[in-house]
Amino acid sequence: MKIRVCIPIRERSSGRAISFIKKAEKSADIIEIWLEQISDIDLKKLIKASKKPILAKGGFDLLKQAISAGARYVDLDIGERDLAKKVRLLQTLNRRAEVIVSYHNFQKTPSIDELVRTAKRVYSAGADIVKVATNIKKVSDISILLELLARMDGKKMICIGMGERGRLTRIMLSVAGSFLTYVALDSRHRTAPGQYTLKEFQKALINYSCL
């Protein structure tokens, strides 16, 4: 099974972002752009800078502009007010694009029942893809995320274990069916705890295949 790699770009200017987008497209299947970090944002140039699909991350107003400009995916936080209404609006702006709704828990991995309820609530709000990222503190946390993927079988889900103890899940969960995994260009470009760099990811893939 091929693992879909998403490389995040978090820069403060459009020029620097485009420069790193060019570097990322050699290895990425999808490129994520953190829009709120960019001071001189030019959405059309950013989205057209690569032939690879663009995943736009930011506030709702920026996501509306990004999806209209051609972003293939947009990432909306689960904490947004009127979530279902905003998901529907984004979907009407670009019928080919997909709306990801993200849930992050940087402290722990909640129980399987809590995560299932959260995921079902987000799918009910109309999300095309649900993203669940939790902090891994013990082995049983990994089992919870694997079970979550299994219970959501047939639906698109991004499932990530954060932190050093969750590193291997960034491969394991993709093999189990997670829609994508995030991989940084280098250590400076990490956007979450435990995220592999490209070099680390390539090495980890070899080690994983030997298990």
The catalytic residue among 52, 57, 64, 131 is: 131
Q: Can you give the length of the chain in residues? A: 211
Contacts of 32 (CB under 8 A, 6+ apart): 6, 7, 8, 9, 54, 55, 56, 57, 75, 182
Closest CA to 162 of 193, 129, 198: 193
Contact 98, 72 (CB under 8 A): yes
104 is catalytic: yes
131 is catalytic: yes
Contact 161, 148 (CB under 8 A): no
Q: In what order do the strands lie in the sheet with 157-162?
A: 157-162, 129-135, 98-105, 73-77, 54-57, 30-34, 5-9, 181-182
The catalytic residue among 45, 48, 104, 120 is: 104
Q: Which are the catalytic amino acids?
A: 104, 131
